[in-house]
Amino acid sequence: MDTNAPRSRRIARKAGSFMKKNYVYSLLVNDILSEKTGKSGDRFFTAEEIMKKYSVSYITALKLIKMLTDNKFLITIGNKRFIMNGLYKKKSALYSLINAPYKKIGIIIQDITNPFFASVTMSLNNLIVEKGLLPVIKIADKDHEADVLLDFVQEGCQGIVSFFQNNTPYIIDIYNRLPVPVVFISDSVPTSSHCVVNSDNLHSGYFAAKHLTECGYSSLYYCGLSKKINAPRAQGFVNYLKENGLPFDESHVIYFDIANPYRNNYVLQTILNDPADRIGVFCFHDLIAEYLYNLCTDNGIPVPEKVGIVGYDKLDSMRPSNINLTTFSYSFKNIANSTLKLLLSNMETLTADQKIVRENTFLSVGKTTAKSSESVLI
């Protein structure tokens, strides 16, 4: 009697199951690449559908889905799976859209309350329309960014602009696998294979510190919404002070919490208790600068005689221009122009070669630190 027979049969069954699984996997990969199962962005089979179509067990169907996901052929959003292979070649269904009567450009905004995003989006929208293209603008928080990116692909957008903020590996992976070119407007480089129009730089903070110093402000502060000074503009500000032997430590980093009056009072007391004759403050953006200006004037602190305030972004479209505020900024139209130029170029070639664009920084000088009433190019 062959006592090894049951074990042999088990081994044979496992080998047969393994071979069947790999065979079905190769069929699925070929069907995805040839787009027989649909193009990138389309819904993929459920485990039950794979069971019926390829005559495999439910467990094997789940393993096949995991293999396809691990090997970058599928993405999972919620409990649904979609084809997303990131093809950049003529086989891609994207090429069928190139000669479409109109081209769609997707713009995803992660924070609608951000006035910088709103201003650049307005400029982008106008430029896209001027070129006879169709802008598709969607708002998404971090929990729904993947859904919106998928919507863009399913709606036939041939290029995407993103104000990148969500640097989780899952979202970065989806961006890397999108079948359409993407241009980021960001102060950092989220991936190694996409174009970035830089919305922040060291020079703005560097020249803000230089400007305040040249205007006679001897004690300088950086003001943001947290203690962090890792933004390029903040680093540039600190770099100038260190290079020129000017005092700067944690006590010179002040920040607001709009919902916390105690914190805001602390900012005010820090300025009042500084023994310097003239105090200069570089704010993370213009809305903080305006808030600080109002706080000072409401409490009898003369601006610019006692406190000089410099902001960032020149958000004139979002609020009435205040002649007592100085601001460093990029041109919103320049950012929009550079973004659209990069995206259209990549849409024609379907490439994703990394390129980083840094725009010139402008200084708009108001009465706060006025040495001149004109805007000058740095």
pLDDT in tens, 266-317: 888 999 999 999 999 999 888 888 889 888 989 999 888 899 999 887 665 4
67: confidence class by pLDDT, cuts 50, 70, 90: confident
Angle between helices 58-70 and 47-54 (to 10 degrees): 110
Q: Choose the weakest-confidence range: 131-135, 190-194, 343-347.
A: 190-194
Which CATH code is given to the segment(s) 95-199+334-358? 3.40.50.2300
In this prediction, residue 318 carries a pLDDT of: 40
Sign of CA dihedral 142, 147, 151, 157: positive
Domain borders along the chain are 5-83, 95-199+334-358, 202-329
Q: Choose the weakest-confidence range: 34-43, 150-159, 288-297.
A: 34-43
User: Is the predicted pLDDT of residue 362 greater than 70, yes or no?
Assistant: no
Give the residue from 182, 154, 181 showing the smallest Cα distance to 40. 154
* Phi, psi values for residue 335, rounded to 5°: -60, -45
Read off the pLDDT of each residue in 185-191 and give the average, rounded to a whole number: 70
366: confidence class by pLDDT, cuts 50, 70, 90: low
The CA–CA distances, whole Å, from 260 to 225, 267, 269, 350 equal 12, 11, 15, 49
239-266 burial, b at 16+ Cβ within 10 Å, e below that, comes to: ebbeeeeeebeeebbbbbeeeeeeebee
> Is there a common fold for 95-199+334-358 and 202-329?
yes
State the Cα–Cα distance between residues 164 and 138, nearest whole angstrom.
13
In this prediction, residue 114 carries a pLDDT of: 73
In this prediction, residue 90 carries a pLDDT of: 37
Domain 202-329 class?
Answer: alpha beta
* Phi, psi values for residue 306, rounded to 5°: -100, -45
DSSP annotation of 313: S
Residue 132, Ramachandran bin (φ over 0: left; ψ between -120 and 50: alpha; else beta): left
State the Cα–Cα distance between residues 338 and 195, nearest whole angstrom.
10
- Copy the structure tokens of residue 152: 């863009």
Q: What is the pLDDT of residues 20-30, one digit of tens each?
A: 777 788 788 87
Read off the pLDDT of each residue in 338-352 and give the average, rounded to a whole number: 80
Q: Choose the weakest-confidence range: 319-323, 344-348, 357-361.
A: 319-323
Q: Choose the weakest-confidence range: 81-90, 140-149, 340-349.
A: 81-90
92: confidence class by pLDDT, cuts 50, 70, 90: very low
Higher-pLDDT residue of 98 and 129 is: 129
Residues 6+ apart with CB under 8 A from 19: none
In this prediction, residue 252 carries a pLDDT of: 92
Contact in structure between 85 and 42 (CB atoms under 8 Å): no
Give the residue from 149, 155, 150 showing the smallest Cα distance to 107. 149
State the Cα–Cα distance between residues 208 and 282, nearest whole angstrom.
7
Domain 5-83 class?
Answer: mainly alpha
89: confidence class by pLDDT, cuts 50, 70, 90: very low
In this prediction, residue 188 carries a pLDDT of: 66
